[in-house]
Amino acid sequence: MNQSEARAACRENYTDLVTVCSEEENTALINLINTELNNTLPADRRAWIGLQRSQFSSKWSNGDEVTFSALTGSCGPKPCCAAMKTNASWESPLCTERRNFMCYKQDQTDLTFSYHLITENKTWYEAQSYCRKNYTDLVSIRDQEQNEAVKIAGMKSSDFFWIGLLRDDLEWADGGRSAYRNWADDQPRSSQNCTQLNRGKWQAVPCSNPVPAVLCYNSES
């Protein structure tokens, strides 16, 4: 099916094309594809997911609503991510640049949280994965007071460091706010508007492409 046919099938029989929120969910989808398409060649084990081209918008890695921004400059035509400067303003470099980054850890008992500057150079996507595995997520910032606190926590960094803001022109078919991305090398391609999962990684492809499988979800399950 092409993407329009896939989405129609999902909405008729389930809820919608799947929204992917984490590495764990992505791995579960890979396993599902390999199980259902185990009689096909690996190159044919491809499936539609719900990410598609839209208008540029900002989103926090942890799904928080964007209520504050100190971004300077513009992304241009490619996805960009926020990195905090020493003066607490944010620049908007390409997400594939390598920088230090700020994670946060939330205590599930009293809901307090702490900041953790990681002095390893990673892309924004790699930093997101690291924070989610070892802490809670990349830090999100809700107001000027918190922005100042994050700046102070990052004073040991000799360079700008990633925070959790992603700005791109992609949205989920069901309106989900997930900022998780798992692009293959040299992806996403700005001229392609829909997304397939192929051998564990995401690829931007034409929406008219015939793809062997569709990943739907059911909100009742």
Q: How far apart are CA 114 and CA 137, in angstroms?
A: 11
What pLDDT is recorded for position 220? Answer: 72
Over the stretch 6-24, which tens digit does the pLDDT of each residue have? Answer: 999 999 999 999 999 999 9
What 3-state class would DSSP assign to 94? strand
Does position 71 have pLDDT exceeding 70, yes or no? Answer: yes
Secondary structure (DSSP) of 178-195: -----BPTT---TT--EE
Q: Which residue has the higher pLDDT, 158 or 203?
A: 203
What 3-state class would DSSP assign to 163? strand
Query: pTM value?
Result: 0.90
Over the stretch 73-122, which tens digit does the pLDDT of each residue have? Answer: 777 778 899 999 999 999 999 999 999 999 999 987 777 889 999 999 99
Query: Whole domain around residue 84: which residue ranges?
Result: 3-217
Q: Which residue has the higher pLDDT, 62 or 75?
A: 62
Q: Which 8-state DSSP code applies to residue 2?
A: -
Report the pLDDT averaged over residues 130-148.
97
What pLDDT is recorded for position 189? Answer: 81
Q: Which 8-state DSSP code applies to residue 118?
A: E
Q: How many structural domains are present in the chain?
A: 1
Over the stretch 120-131, which tens digit does the pLDDT of each residue have? Answer: 999 999 999 999
Q: How far apart are CA 162 and CA 95, in angstroms?
A: 9
Cis peptide before 79 (omega within 30 of 0): no
